[in-house]
Structure 1
Amino acid sequence: MFDSLSERLRDRLKSTDKKTIITGAAVSAGLVAIVSGGAYYAPYLTLNNIKNATEHRNADALSQEINFPELRVSVKENIKAKILKQTAKDSTIRSPELTPSLVDKIVNPIVDELITPAGIEKLMLDKVPEAKIDLSYLETDLNKSNVTMGYESIDRFVIRIIDKVDRTKDVSLILKRDGFLAWKLSAIDISKV
């Protein structure tokens, strides 16, 4: 009688252990799927936050989505490359006068002032007339463009905006991971322009 009872109890414990293990594995798999999905879609959420902040001219919200030190370096490099490229093509500008160090002296302070939370606010509120941001044509411009986006690596997400009509307007926005789930706009690439 005790042998039969102990066998039934042992069988019951074995089946309970299997159920517990299966339930635990299912819950764990579900959590991994949720975290993985959240990690995968996090840059899309950041891009949506940037779009909403821009549409509503909310400089504070936009500033939270930007890695200012990295963005400043990126913008400086892009502007310098563009200036030097145009100088090389334009025969009316004598290239010895416009050296890379002179370009640095001109570009660096301007970019340092504009690519800050306060600078972004000034740009969005049109307080810098020479660098006015006109968002009224944004939707039309995007409709005339091919927008592709995706991961280049586990820590780098790129949004490419390719103008269908004028390839000189092509631009890439680069988001980089900032922590586990957070992403920030860290670079803008206009080097193909």
Structure 2
Amino acid sequence: MNGPGQHATRRLAIAAVVLLVVAVLGYAYASPYIVLDRLKRAADARDAETVNAYVDYPALRVSLKQQVTELLMRRIDAQKHGNPFAVIGAMIGAALIGPLVDAYATPDGVAAILNGMPPRGQPGERPPPVGPSGGTTGGEAEGTASTAPSASSAPSGPPTTQTPTAPATPQTPPEAQTAPPQPPQTTAGYRGLNEFVVTYQHGVGDTRYAAILRRDGLFSWKLSAVDLNG
């Protein structure tokens, strides 16, 4: 006969197995979110080794080539009855798809894609530089220092009559002129058991695009495609 101790041990073993299964399933469900966070942090920090571990570059190149080609074809169809120079520009862009794909299938390109700056199919396009915080880098405009003389340096002597002048037009503060672009709105979720999609949109009515991660084993995922059809 089984004693009380054996029953208690069996219940503990069953409970431990159940907890383990729940933990494994929970981690499996959360794994693409974890990978996405690691990938974006690594891309922003230019940690090429970590980025390379989470990107399927051959698949991403195929997807980029297909998506940019379709983007340019749609642009040509929309403009063929309008500005002929725009059509010529789109055709030139089509001829430069290879270099564009080469530029975006890199850690710099991955950083741009994950920060709301996908390829637009423009001639000579390259990924814009992305800083550690995820924003674009570049020089910031500096305000001009005031050169008005102080009261102590004003000339002495009797006051002279001056013609009144119209008040100066208020200037827009440099900070308002150089305000960085707002980060895109993102939504993420499963699109099937083995595909995880992150959708980016800068504002209502703005064109959307998506970065697509695909399962690579039980818990690992890799950035494998983009969808520019938004």
Q: Is the 8 A contact 2:43 2:108 kept in 1?
A: no
User: Aligned partners of 1:141, 1:186: CA distance in 2, in Å?
Assistant: 27
Q: Is the 8 A contact 2:199 2:209 kept in 1?
A: yes
Aligned to 1:161: 200
Residues 141, 19 of structure 1: alpha-carbon distance in 2 compared, 3 angstrom cutoff? farther
- Which of the two has greater helix per residue? 1
Residues 141, 121 of structure 1: alpha-carbon distance in 2 compared, 3 angstrom cutoff? closer
- Which of the two has greater strand per residue? 1
Aligned to 2:219: 181
The one of 87, 91, 96 aligned to 2:76? 87
Aligned to 2:61: 72
Q: Is the 8 A contact 1:123 1:131 kept in 2?
A: no
Residues 60, 142 of structure 1: alpha-carbon distance in 2 compared, 3 angstrom cutoff? farther
Residues 44, 122 of structure 1: alpha-carbon distance in 2 compared, 3 angstrom cutoff? closer
User: Aligned partners of 2:108, 2:33: CA distance in 1, in Å?
Assistant: 23
User: Aligned partners of 1:182, 1:88: CA distance in 2, in Å?
Assistant: 40
- Kindly state the Cα deviation for residue 115 of structure 1 after the two structures are TM-superposed: 5.4
User: Aligned partners of 1:187, 1:20: CA distance in 2, in Å?
Assistant: 49
| Structure whose alpha-carbon radius of gyration is higher | 2
Aligned to 1:147: 186
- Kindly state the Cα deviation for residue 68 of structure 1 after the two structures are TM-superposed: 1.1
- Kindly state the Cα deviation for residue 173 of structure 1 after the two structures are TM-superposed: 1.0
Q: Is the 8 A contact 1:175 1:183 kept in 2?
A: yes
Mapping of 1:1-193 within 5 angstroms?
10=1, 13-91=2-80, 92=84, 93=87, 103=94, 106-107=96-97, 109-110=98-99, 113-114=102-103, 119-120=106-107, 130-136=125-131, 138-139=134-135, 141=181, 143=183, 145-164=184-203, 167-168=206-207, 170-192=208-230
Which structure 2 residue ranges, 5 or more long, are not aligned? Answer: 112-123, 136-179
User: Aligned partners of 2:99, 2:55: CA distance in 1, in Å?
Assistant: 18
Cα RMSD for the two superposed structures = 3.0
State the identity as a percent: 24
- The one-letter amino acid paired with 1:148 is T
User: Aligned partners of 1:141, 1:112: CA distance in 2, in Å?
Assistant: 25
Residues 146, 122 of structure 1: alpha-carbon distance in 2 compared, 3 angstrom cutoff? closer
- Kindly state the Cα deviation for residue 23 of structure 1 after the two structures are TM-superposed: 1.1
What's the TM-score once normalised by structure 1's chain length?
0.73
User: Aligned partners of 1:146, 1:83: CA distance in 2, in Å?
Assistant: 25
| Corresponding residue SS for 1:147 | strand
User: Aligned partners of 2:110, 2:225: CA distance in 1, in Å?
Assistant: 18
- Kindly state the Cα deviation for residue 147 of structure 1 after the two structures are TM-superposed: 1.2
User: Aligned partners of 1:115, 1:53: CA distance in 2, in Å?
Assistant: 16
